[in-house]
Chain A
Amino acid sequence: MGNSMPAEDHRLTTREMARFVADGFLRFDALVPDDINARVVDELRALAAIKLRQAAGGGVAENAEDVEHGRSLVPLSECYPEPSTIGEMLRLPQVHGIIASLVGTDPVFDHDFVHLLPAGSTFAQHLHVDAVIDSRDPSFDVQLFYFPNEVRLGEGGTRFVPGTHLRHTRAEGVARYQNILGEQQYSGPAGTLVIFHHALWHAGRPNPGTTDRWMYKIRLNPRVPQVRLWNTEDLDAIHNDASDHTFAHMREDSVAQILRTMQPWQQGHEARYEQMERARLWRYVSGDAAFDVDYYHTRLEGRARANEGGS
């Protein structure tokens, strides 16, 4: 199921931001109006012809300059100018509010792609991570997955594994996992937007249905620190301090509680390392270097300070 609409000013709420940190994705069903969904497919078809030719090693299409498409390193605000329907979608207040919350008001266009799965397509991808292995820097890109048409269950919706975005792997190194508990295959109504942390494990699936499946993906890089960019009106109320600890005093209404909520594949002691990674990312986005979930970082840092002669 999707989220409700973002906050009134269209930015994410603190709870939504915490869920993004924990799960590596957010989903907003039918966020884009039908009018745009109906018009955008013609643009996607033209864009797909260029993208697929280039990606297949066919070189630059003769009409490439006649079809509006984004250029890497260019601010998003300069991509897809009017009357582009893709641009109209990206500039919708409810879409822009999500982008601004995660990567700033005017991120850099990295690349985009049109993923067309014709009716009857048997194409199936291995599970993978886009691009290359990351450094331990907690900053992140986002990838917007926009489905202009309804996608019925099992008919080509993207497969993805919630909570995998903080595991550092090579792009194809996760291909060996055919099935993971808690994985999802997208299905949903027209106009749905799913926003991925760039490192979330995912894969294309076959489309045995009778309808072509269109999906537009765009990757955006931040140009500003990704610190408190969302609607923080509710931050003070639920942002916990480092004493929020399952084995001592804990809160049930805090960011920590959202970050404690594990996916079905995150079991046993391994889940503690997941919590530590999530806490690291929340430290970054909240600007609170002392934030913690269940004391794991705080304990270690306190010992280190003690040995340095501090308090």
Chain B
Amino acid sequence: MERQQVLYLWLAEGALDTNTIAWAFHDGSSGDGPPLAEGEPPYATGIAALEDGWFLIQSPAPHLFQPGAEHGTSYLPNEFVFERRVLV
């Protein structure tokens, strides 16, 4: 059976070659697929995740600004989502 593993990387900037600052891993194979790379973070950049076999399925849209709130901060802005399909 094919199962999906999903990796979220939040990067420092909007480019894939910038540093990972946060991450999350969701494993649809219930541990039967390959584990996430060791290390904190598991990949130093988004490019490093691509090089390890992850496929990019979402990259962040550029920031849109509300008048008067141009400089406000909220959620981590640079959310990249990757997947890896594994046979279990």
Contacts and interface: CB of A to CB of B under 8 A. Distances in A.
User: Majority SS of interface residues in chain A?
Assistant: loop
A257 interface: no
A270 B19 CA distance: 12
A267 interface: yes
Interface residues of A, number: 25
Interface stretch (A18-26, A43-51, A61-69, A164-172): A164-172
A265 interface: yes
Interface string B38-82: 001100000000000000000000000000010111111100000
Contact of B22 (A136, A167, A168, A177): A177
Contacts of A177: 10, 22, 24, 76
A178 interface: yes
Given A267-B12, A268-B13, A178 B23 contact: yes
B74 A179 contact: no
Contacts of B23: 178-179
Interface in B7-47: 8, 10, 12-13, 18-25, 40-41
Given A167-B74, A270-B13, 11 more contacts: A167-B73, A168-B74, A173-B75, A178-B22, A179-B23, A265-B21, A270-B77, A273-B71, A274-B73, A276-B71, A277-B73
Interface of A: 136, 166-169, 173-174, 176-181, 264-270, 273-274, 276-277, 296
